[in-house]
Amino acid sequence: MTMDVAVLTIFPEMFERFWTHGIVRRAIEQGQLKGDAIDIRAYAEDRHKVTDDRPYGGGCGMVMKPEPLAKALRAARARMPEAVTLLMTPQGRPFSQQTAAELARRRGLIFICGRYEGVDERVAQRFVDAEISIGDYVLTGGELPAMVIVDAVVRLIPGVLGGQDSAAQDSFADGLLEHAHYTRPRVFEGRPVPDVLLSGNHAAIDQWRLEAALVRTFLKRPELLEDRVFSEQELAILRKWSKKLENLIKVQSACCTDPLSGHQ
Ligand code: 9D3
């Protein structure tokens, strides 16, 4: 089954290279994805192909006119009647791995990329199924967000990734950051690869990787652990590190209260 993607934009050239690299390209070649950037300007009625206009009520900036967008949308929907229509906007629902997984189950996606101050509100109300933001920072348009979302979604389409780096193995899929990775040489600028990874002991390697993932998540993104239900194996690792920390603290307070240590 092919996922159909149409991106409505006034800058379709931004997508030309996007479709031709990496996993996105492979998915298209294997028939799992169809990607099409549609020029909104091509649907403008007037001689100058105008797609924006001044805002009612005044103010600086321009607003995307509803008519060309509506025409482009109707054409896209006629070709892909089962698609959901997504408006890229800073006011949208924050995009996440969960959103990506939901979108990956759809037959088709139609992206509306805003430019200027945004699109006329009546287009949003009439045509849009969901408004999505990719995060709380200000970009100049919805094209990069649409690429980000296609990139995250395509690798979740069944069969797009091989078993080797399948989506089920994603760090976000199991709620932990990934452990560190190493490749040759065995010693790089004086820094060796952890011995256990060279041991050939797969149980020990799995244990090290889980421990490395857990500790890394605790240090870099502790909030990811807040609602986690830990496995018995994970709890054992946490207890081990808790003991290590307790000992460090004990040694510290012992030295600081030592009358012969010279300080405190
Ligand atoms: C900050 C106030 N306005 C600009 C003077 C609003 C505004 C309108 C349009 C801000 C940015 C944009 C263009 N951005 C997008 O279209 C966009 C976006 C983003 O800026 N951040 C995160 N996700 C997205 S999705 C679409």
Instruction: Determine the residue type at 211.
Output: E
Residue 53 predicted with pLDDT over 90: yes
pLDDT band for 225, please (50, 70, 90 cuts).
Answer: very high
- The rounded distance, in Å, linking the Cα atoms of 93 and 135 is 9
How far away, in angstroms, is 94 Cα from ligand 1 center?
A: 13
Q: Does some domain include residue 161?
A: no
Residue 264 predicted with pLDDT over 70: no
Domain that holds residue 70: 3-154
Relative orientation angle of helices 202-220 and 232-257, to the nearest 10 degrees: 60
What pLDDT digit, counting tens, does each position of 4-30 carry?
999 999 999 999 999 999 999 999 999
Q: Does some domain include residue 27?
A: yes
Q: Does some domain include residue 145?
A: yes
Q: Does some domain include residue 16?
A: yes
Q: Does some domain include residue 223?
A: no
89 CB contacts (<8 Å, ≥6 apart)?
114, 118, 119, 124, 131, 132, 133, 142
155 catalytic residue (yes or no): yes
Q: Does some domain include residue 57?
A: yes
How far away, in angstroms, is 131 Cα from ligand 1 center?
A: 12
pLDDT at 45: 94
- The rounded distance, in Å, linking the Cα atoms of 260 and 264 is 10
Q: Does some domain include residue 181?
A: no
Query: Which two tokens mark 82?
Result: 């089962």
* Cα 57 from chain centroid (whole Å): 37
CB–CB of 52/64 below 8 Å?
yes
46 catalytic residue (yes or no): no
Whether 117 is in the pocket of ligand 1, judged by its Cβ within 6 Å, is yes
CATH of the domain at 132: 3.40.1280.10
Task: Output the pTM of the full model.
Answer: 0.94
Residue 165 predicted with pLDDT over 80: no
Residue 76 predicted with pLDDT over 60: yes
- The best mutation among 139, 147, 149 to test binding of ligand 1, ranked by most ligand atoms within 8 Å of the C-beta, falls on 139
Q: Does some domain include residue 169?
A: no
pLDDT at 263: 59
How many domains in the chain? Answer: 1
Whether 141 is in the pocket of ligand 1, judged by its Cβ within 6 Å, is yes
How far away, in angstroms, is 129 Cα from ligand 1 center?
A: 19
